[in-house]
Structure 1
Amino acid sequence: MKRFIPFTSSIKFIVQVMFFLLLLMMVYRLFFFYHYKPSNKPFSGSMMLLGLRYDLRIVAALGIVMNFLMMIPAFNFFKHKKNSTFWVGFLTLIFFVFLIAYGSDFYYYDYLKQRLSAAIVSFAQDAGISATMMWQTYPIVRILLFLLLCMWLFVWFIKKLLLKVQAQHADTTTKNKVVATIVFMLLLGFAVFGKIGQYPLRWSDAFNLSDDFKANTSLNPFQSFLSTLSFKKSGYDVKKVKEVYPTMATYLGIQQPNAEQLMFDRVHQANANFTNKPNIVIVICESFSAYKSSMFGNALNATPYFNSMCQQGIFFERCFTPAFGTARGVWATVTGIPDVEDNKTASRNPAAVNQHSIMNDFEGYEKMYFLGGSTTWANIRGVLKNNIIGLQIFEEDHFKAKKVDVWGISDKNLFLEANNILAQQNKPFISIIQTADNHRPYTIPAEDQQAFKVLNYPADTLKKYGFDDNGQYNAFRYADFCFQQFIEAAKKQPYFNNTIFVFVGDHGLRGDAGNLFPQSFTKQGILAEHVPLLFYAPKFLQPQRIAAPASQLDVLPTVAHLANQQYTNTTLGVNLFDTTIQKHRVAFIADPDTRTIGVVGNDYYYAKSLNTGAIDFVSVKNNNAIVPNKITDSIKANMASLTDAFYYSSKYLLLNNKKRLQ
């Protein structure tokens, strides 16, 4: 019986090439760290280990390509010795790409303090200026000589390695070759995936280190370049931003406007006579579409409990999310900036991951985030951990309850487990709970089906009142059931009487609202952004229903005001109880699907298509046509100005709202 050879000669060759490149990548990381590290920045083993995993993804991908080529007889140098020339040329080209990537990365960071980004492509538009700047700034001749030396040494190394492997080559059985190849490819595939779990290793995992420099050090230029490739056109026109700045500054009430420095800071002082520190619980509610809920007279009455809460709290009936989509909704709530990215969500853009959040101004507060699934989704974890100092994240692996579907544990169990954790806190806290069940596959857990009675209606009845099917209708009802379980459980805990609960939808849903709202809500599609917003604190807040426009952007500034926190607002949200802007407040919408931007005011909705430039100006109070006159023309012009101001300011702030060091 022949001895089983675990690795074929070709696999040994591939492994040695991979190891050589991996070693060089790690040496570069050490050099990068010690060359660029700020003073008193300690060395981090976790940073290096994570960096090794990123590097392994790249060399494993190369290993897969090499293995496929080696399986083709025409490229296998054990079959044809003349193919050694191909491999020397192929690997030299790969090494050249590595040198260019790492050389560009080193000087890109030196220039911009960012790892290599796809934005470097934009420098080619001014190639002459960029080349002259490089020539006048860096020792280009010495750099080129060094690169040539590295290339020569690599060619020498590969030739020696090929000769060594060919000399040690030993045939093995076809069966062993197949087994070894399958095992090797599986290992390489796992290395490319990068981690055990539902999601692959992503750039955002670096920012779990909660340190910008360590996060940047752990990345490699291939990871950072490829991660930003979809965002190479992201950016802003600084001339446009400065043009709209006076409009934005006036609207926001910026105390010291500065169009040259584009200052958005507004410092809000606390009332020294108010010493209580109430807890804050913000619930971001999945697909909480206003027209499907009970608060607006929908006859199917899907949210009776939440409707009763709205009658006991301050309910904003005209709240709009700045965009459609959960990731965009979470982003807007946490950062206060509309997500106006065209290609993907801002949370997926490495250049936008550094953001100031008012949550950091809650000094002395415990900060928590609860999600029944994984925050790796849409790279939300990187945004949260990198920007909210001391944040504790509780997700599916932290809970006792078992997963019920792709979104993790049920919302009911999420609420109850969050309630138990909140009840154990000895300090004031601000927490966010993000729900997920009001979403396909519309799971109603078996453990709740006795307490929660499923209802079914004919298809025409469901359609009449805005529901696609009974699954969607019951999922909406189950969301209300979960709210009730949470609030009733919280009422039994001491923290309840000193807590402000905030409920806001992550986004609405498109559809037909029928006669529940003016036709503009359906025709212009703003049902996709229309959500309930409730501030619920029976011990603090007097019941009130407010028709003035509100936005997700306003949540954190408003709760900071209610909690009497001193805070610095650097973004586009406002305190909803600030009477100085209440009369002319608007809600900005940038719909990523229709590429429409606009603002909703007290009476009208103004929208502009980014594709065609077409304008909509319609009533949100009734179905009457707007009669052009001096008053309506003035309102339209003002809303047009605010639309551009919000849009261009958002483009700027996505990349220029860095968190404040504390």
Structure 2
Amino acid sequence: MGGSFFLGLRYDLRMISWLLIVMLVLGSIPVLHPFTGKRGKKFWMLLLGAVVLFVLFFFSVDFAHYAYLEQRLNASVLNYLEDAKISMGMVWQSYPIIRMVLGVLLLAALLIWIIHRTHRWVSKQPYTGTRRSRIISFAVCFLLSGFFIFGKFDQYPLRWSDAFALGSDYKAYLALNPFESFFSTLKFRHSGYDEKKVKALAPVIGSYFNFTPNDNPLSFVRVVEPKPGALTTKPNVVLVICESFSAYKSSMFGNPLNTTPFFDSMCRQGIFFDRCFTPTYGTARGVWATITGTPDVEMTKTASRNPAAVDQHTIINDFTGYEKFYFLGGSTSWANIRGVLTNNIDNLHLYEQEDYKAEKIDVWGISDKNLFLEANKVLARQQKPFFAIIQTADNHRPYTIPEEDLKEFSKVEVPADSLRKYGFESLAEMNAFRYTDFGYKKFMEAAQKEKYYNNTVFVFIGDHGIPGNADALFPNSWTAQRLTTMHVPLLIYAPGMLAPKRVNILSSQTDVLPTIAGLCHIKYTNSTLGKDLLDSTTKGFAFIFDPDNSMTGVVKGDYLYRKQLRSNKEELVSIVNNEPVPNDAEHTAIAHEMEVLTDALFETAKFMLLNNKKK
């Protein structure tokens, strides 16, 4: 960790040096001199007091941000301001805000007192320096501060992205401070696409998605006919988008805490894809990718919040003759998801917290169990085929488990060392994860009693994973390169209609709708980056994008390839073992192939966000 601490010291010295430069320049103005007049002293005491409060506030928010997401504070936090009421509700219910504020104020008061005492002590010391010595001291301090701001002996200055050359994201976050990560990522809040690159890389997209681009290289539309062997009963579809359903925390991947035994039993009876990845981290981005088929590659502002991108084609509309439903326990005002849904899904029946009889339990609305039961009542009344989406929320801070369920759902106690070893921060988190499994069980028990059950395809997909230590279950790259934030279960469950099997093909959230449409014998138009996972010609890979760290990459074969967008630094790591990747011609060729695919997917996704409008 020595490299992280040394690099972190350089980032901290940069922050301190910016303040010293300001003090040197302003303090050289006679009226603002901190020791020769009352005005100067008052100005500096007020300014330094404000700086102390600002710094402590920034670091306290950074600590909470890291505890929540295991990422240093970055510009994506500004997204929460667009849903301020919901965000503040979650923060208030998850953290001891009053104690944190009091702690910041007390610490600020102590530091301000120390500054006052130090100023008083220095003011009493005699100064014998000459004008020449003052000029030399000013010049030396200015140049030294300037060097620390530049950060290194090199042609280029120390950058935020240099932290990611340390070999793991954890070491990078250890080195960074919130000012460096926040203000560096702030520059990347605007995005667009390069049309020349999209055209040049169109053949790459065609080769990986099994189609030949036509005369217009900017057209990625392909009409997919129903395939033999698909279900011809016009089955209903229930797609469950599962909050924070991180694969390594679940039973399906051998976690000894056995948090999801019921879902594990479903996976043994359904088609279970065990190498599925979300393109990126975050619920809004996960919902977007699932419904539109396009990875959300907006930098820090999600695509759902971009007015220019809200008009999107979705394969759901190809399910003609189907009633469309979306069930959420809270409000779809969050992240402008309501606009994405109602603007793009034809004749959608949208159900939110005020539409249910169940009571709201926290900032996220009603409990997942009650959400499932309320949705089941609606679906049981339907006379026409339906396509329903249920989006859960309980597996999320503040990890509320309703009192009404504690008679049937029992919390468990696990030693702290076992929790950490198998990926959990706290008992509250682990029991909330277990409660999601309880909700799935109650839903399926209720659905089995209804007529629609026997002709329904149930699909479960995580909206994203959760960062954490997965070393006890997976190779180190899954933790160090944060694959845990994107690895989720994908299950297609239709007992009596589909033979169970476990599928190892690399897959993505963007593949969900094409796979469902193909399975349900639907003719559909695919204009984005999804593929039918049950088609024997499909190539397995998963695009990944980390907007907070400006990284993009792809998981393919036995490797993860990632590239830092600002510095173009690359890495190729194994996802099947802990052996370093050999530096030879074979693996150089693999890295190059994955780089080309990464660039093609990234550039095309940026184009599609603004050019995949519904017909």
TM-score, structure 1 normalization: 0.64
Deviation at 1:255, TM superposition (A): 4.2
Q: Match of 1:368, SS?
A: strand
2:392 aligns with one of 409, 432, 435: 435
Q: What is aligned with 2:565?
A: 610
Q: What is aligned with 2:197?
A: 240
Q: Does 1:542 align with 2:499?
A: yes
Following superposition of structure 1 onto structure 2, how do residues 230-629 of structure 1 map, counting pairs within 5 Å?
233-258=190-215, 260-271=216-227, 275-582=232-539, 585-629=540-584
Q: Which whole-Å CA distance do the structure 2 matches of 1:616 and 1:280 have between them?
A: 40
Deviation at 1:272, TM superposition (A): 8.5
Letter in 2 for 1:625: P
Q: Which whole-Å CA distance do the structure 1 matches of 2:226 and 2:407 have between them?
A: 48
Q: Which whole-Å CA distance do the structure 1 matches of 2:87 and 2:397 have between them?
A: 19
Larger-gyration structure (1/2) = 1
Aligned CA distance change for structure 1 residues 230 and 613 (closer, same or farther; 3 Å): closer
Q: Which whole-Å CA distance do the structure 2 matches of 1:330 and 1:317 have between them?
A: 20
Aligned CA distance change for structure 1 residues 350 and 647 (closer, same or farther; 3 Å): same
Aligned CA distance change for structure 1 residues 198 and 304 (closer, same or farther; 3 Å): closer
Aligned CA distance change for structure 1 residues 316 and 363 (closer, same or farther; 3 Å): same
- 1:67-103 superposed Cα distances (whole Å, 9 cap, x missing partner): xxxxxxxxxxxxxxxxxxxxxxxxxxxxxxxxxxxxx
Letter in 2 for 1:417: E
Aligned CA distance change for structure 1 residues 319 and 198 (closer, same or farther; 3 Å): closer
Native 8 Å contact 2:399 2:428 kept in 1: yes
Q: What is aligned with 1:634?
A: 589
Q: Which whole-Å CA distance do the structure 2 matches of 1:231 and 1:384 have between them?
A: 27
Native 8 Å contact 2:238 2:457 kept in 1: yes
Q: Which whole-Å CA distance do the structure 2 matches of 1:232 and 1:396 have between them?
A: 32
1:655 aligns with one of 589, 610, 614: 610
Q: Which whole-Å CA distance do the structure 2 matches of 1:272 and 1:597 have between them?
A: 36
Letter in 2 for 1:571: T
Q: Which whole-Å CA distance do the structure 1 matches of 2:448 and 2:405 have between them?
A: 21
Q: Which whole-Å CA distance do the structure 2 matches of 1:501 and 1:423 have between them?
A: 14
- Point out the more displaced range, 234-243 or 643-652: 234-243
Unmatched runs of 5 consecutive residues or more in structure 1:
1-192, 201-228
Letter in 2 for 1:365: Y
- 1:103-141 superposed Cα distances (whole Å, 9 cap, x missing partner): xxxxxxxxxxxxxxxxxxxxxxxxxxxxxxxxxxxxxxx
Native 8 Å contact 2:240 2:460 kept in 1: yes
Q: Match of 1:654, SS?
A: helix
Q: Which whole-Å CA distance do the structure 1 matches of 2:212 and 2:319 have between them?
A: 22
Q: Match of 2:459, SS?
A: strand
Q: Which whole-Å CA distance do the structure 2 matches of 1:254 and 1:357 have between them?
A: 19
Q: Match of 2:495, SS?
A: coil
Deviation at 1:263, TM superposition (A): 1.1
Q: Match of 1:655, SS?
A: helix
Deviation at 1:612, TM superposition (A): 2.1
Q: Which whole-Å CA distance do the structure 1 matches of 2:223 and 2:289 have between them?
A: 20
Letter in 2 for 1:241: V
Q: Match of 1:511, SS?
A: coil
Aligned CA distance change for structure 1 residues 232 and 476 (closer, same or farther; 3 Å): closer
Letter in 1 for 2:324: K
Q: Which whole-Å CA distance do the structure 2 matches of 1:230 and 1:380 have between them?
A: 25
Q: Match of 1:378, SS?
A: helix
Q: Which whole-Å CA distance do the structure 1 matches of 2:312 and 2:222 have between them?
A: 16
Q: Which whole-Å CA distance do the structure 2 matches of 1:404 and 1:346 have between them?
A: 29
Aligned CA distance change for structure 1 residues 574 and 404 (closer, same or farther; 3 Å): same
Letter in 1 for 2:468: G
Deviation at 1:337, TM superposition (A): 0.3
Letter in 1 for 2:573: V
Q: Which whole-Å CA distance do the structure 2 matches of 1:503 and 1:305 have between them?
A: 13
CA RMSD of aligned residues (A): 2.1
Deviation at 1:602, TM superposition (A): 2.3
Aligned CA distance change for structure 1 residues 272 and 510 (closer, same or farther; 3 Å): closer
Q: Which whole-Å CA distance do the structure 2 matches of 1:511 and 1:370 have between them?
A: 29
Deviation at 1:261, TM superposition (A): 4.4
Q: Which whole-Å CA distance do the structure 1 matches of 2:571 and 2:277 have between them?
A: 17
- 1:508-557 superposed Cα distances (whole Å, 9 cap, x missing partner): 01111023011110111111111111111112211111112110000000
Letter in 2 for 1:366: E
TM-score, structure 2 normalization: 0.69
Letter in 1 for 2:290: T
- 1:411-465 superposed Cα distances (whole Å, 9 cap, x missing partner): 0000001011111110111111000000000000010001000112122121111
Q: Which whole-Å CA distance do the structure 1 matches of 2:455 and 2:275 have between them?
A: 27
Letter in 2 for 1:412: K
Unmatched runs of 5 consecutive residues or more in structure 2:
1-80, 89-185
Letter in 2 for 1:238: E
Native 8 Å contact 1:277 1:563 kept in 2: yes
Deviation at 1:635, TM superposition (A): 2.0
Deviation at 1:231, TM superposition (A): 9.4
Letter in 2 for 1:530: H
Q: Which whole-Å CA distance do the structure 2 matches of 1:649 and 1:633 have between them?
A: 24
Letter in 2 for 1:634: A
Native 8 Å contact 1:369 1:393 kept in 2: yes
Q: Match of 1:572, SS?
A: coil
Letter in 1 for 2:222: R
Q: Match of 1:245, SS?
A: helix
Native 8 Å contact 1:249 1:257 kept in 2: no
Deviation at 1:199, TM superposition (A): 10
Native 8 Å contact 2:353 2:360 kept in 1: yes
- 1:301-341 superposed Cα distances (whole Å, 9 cap, x missing partner): 11000001000011111110001000000000000000010
Native 8 Å contact 2:199 2:217 kept in 1: no
- 1:373-414 superposed Cα distances (whole Å, 9 cap, x missing partner): 001110000011001111110110111101000000000000
Deviation at 1:276, TM superposition (A): 1.5
- 1:130-155 superposed Cα distances (whole Å, 9 cap, x missing partner): xxxxxxxxxxxxxxxxxxxxxxxxxx
Q: Match of 2:316, SS?
A: helix
Letter in 1 for 2:391: Q
Letter in 1 for 2:219: M
Q: Match of 1:606, SS?
A: strand
Native 8 Å contact 1:254 1:265 kept in 2: no
Aligned CA distance change for structure 1 residues 562 and 291 (closer, same or farther; 3 Å): same
